[in-house]
Amino acid sequence: MTILNDEIQMTTITTDCLCQVEDENGEWVDSNSCYGDCGEWQEEDAYWLQDQWRKANGIEEDDPILIQVDRIGWTNASAYKWTTAKEVYKSLYLNGDFRIEFTLTGNTLTAIRYSHDEPVGTGTFTFTHYKGCEKCGEPVEASIHAEELGMCVECSNKYFDHDHPEHECLSC
């Protein structure tokens, strides 16, 4: 885990786990053989960073998250994936060697992944918080969910329609 300043925190998960061991002079040096499981330590750091993002944005563990990226793989394709807030960091894993760098800047979490097919990295992965509409259950971007009283735009429009049975207009 790297804390650059009060606003920027970073952590990395990699399949090339590189740990530090104490040499004969008492100095800490990089080692390919690890004492303990540094992969688990990296995941703990990523989960902690993800948890800070969740707390800063009022995100529950099971809230839907839309992951988007504009450049991925050797074809530089655009892609998206739905996941839950507790699975964000694992959602970027590959079946092969990779390195994922997570950055929390203020309240915004981003990531870049490096792999065989992405040697200079992907585009920036962004994570958008969604909530379920309280009427129809469809995922709604959290900011819209708050503005529309917990509903999607379509359901809130129906709710405020004078013909809707739950509509209570004091001026009607």
Number of structural domains (the chain) is: 1
Q: Give dist(CA 11, CA 49) in Å, integer.
A: 8
Has residue 113 been placed in a domain?
Answer: yes
Within a domain: residue 124?
yes
Q: Which of 11-20, 72-81, 163-172 is predicted least confidently? A: 163-172
pLDDT digits 0-9 by tens, 112-159: 999 888 888 888 999 999 888 888 888 888 888 777 778 878 887 777
Residue 5 pLDDT grade (very low, low, confident, very high; cuts 50, 70, 90): low
Look at residue 103 in the predicted model and tell me its pLDDT.
Answer: 94
CB 172 within 8 A of CB 161: no
> Is the residue at 138 inside a domain?
no
Is residue 94's pLDDT more than 60?
Answer: yes
How far are the Cα atoms of 33, 63, 64, 68 from residue 58, in angstroms, in the given order? 39, 10, 13, 20
Give whole-number Cα distances, 111 to 37, 59, 63, in Å: 23, 18, 19
Q: Choose among 106, 4, 113: nearest CA to 55.
A: 106
* 26 occurs within a structural domain: no
Residue 95's pLDDT is 85
pLDDT digits (tens, 9 = 90+) for 28-87: 776 655 555 667 778 888 889 999 999 999 999 888 999 999 988 888 899 999 999 888
Residue 172: inside a domain, yes or no? no
Q: Which domain holds residue 111?
A: 7-14+37-132
CA-CA-CA-CA torsion sign (85, 89, 90, 95)? positive
- Decide: 20 and 30 in contact? Cβ < 8 Å: yes
Residue 31: count other Cβ atoms within 10 Å of its Cβ.
Answer: 14
Let me know how many helices (H) and strands (E) the chain has, helices first.
3, 10
